[in-house]
Structure 1
Amino acid sequence: MLDISPMLLGSTLIVFLVLIAALNSLLYKPLFSYMEKRDADIKKDMEHVGNNDSEIAAFHAKAEKIISDAKLEAAALREKVIAEAKALANSKIETKRAELAQEYATFESELSQERTRLIAALNNEVPAFQTAVSAKLNTI
């Protein structure tokens, strides 16, 4: 029936042990070392991510400060430009007011001269009107 051959059994045991030793040195040890290295890298990356959070927060704070400074500078610049525009507009208004006041004074003086000329012309025409009125009255 079945014969157990000690030679075959021994050689199979030796081949099995050699195979286990070869697999241990060629497969299992490199695989385990790779897995340990990967775990260590993951831990290191996680710690590094924690450090990056603080760096990111610092960068956000710096960016917020830059933005707020830029807003303040823009507001100051806007105020300066508005003040300059108001000053320019006020100077133009004052110039136009002075010009209009000058034109008004000239107009008043011309009007006054015209009034005096008209009064003088009417005074010169009064005798002719009186004679015409008296002639009309005489005819009635």
Structure 2
Amino acid sequence: MADDLRVTDRLVIAANQLTERFSRSSGPGGQGVNTADSRVELSFDVAGSPSLPEHLRARALERLAGRLVDGVLTVTASEHRAQLQNRAAARARLAALLRDAIAPPGPQRRATKPSRGSVERRIQSKKRRAMIKNLRREP
């Protein structure tokens, strides 16, 4: 329960569904950067996860389609020197991605017609701009 990933108040992903890989990071760290595996790759199988209800899974798969490889979402973190901080950063990044992906769609936009005044102002500004350009020309 301690390593579980809380995405929303209701959605918690069990730690056994997350895969962590560690490798050498290229960032700050002095001599330790050559020996410490501080870079974290955190992967989550969106397509095969039992934690996601079917309607949320479909929404997440659609919205994350460009980031998924075989239904698996992977995030990396290497901005900190310590592996523990990078693990926390990767988990926060994964939770934010999933939260945005499963969020319900916003209200549908209702088409509106531009007001008469706004149309007139637009045409007047176009005429002014054309006049300015016309004055720049050689006679």
Shared topology, TM-score over 0.5? no
**TM-score normalized by the length of structure 1:** 0.20
Whose radius of gyration is greater, 1 or 2?
1
More helix by share: 1
More strand by share: 2
- Structure of higher RCO (CA pairs closer than 8 Å, 6+ residues apart): 2
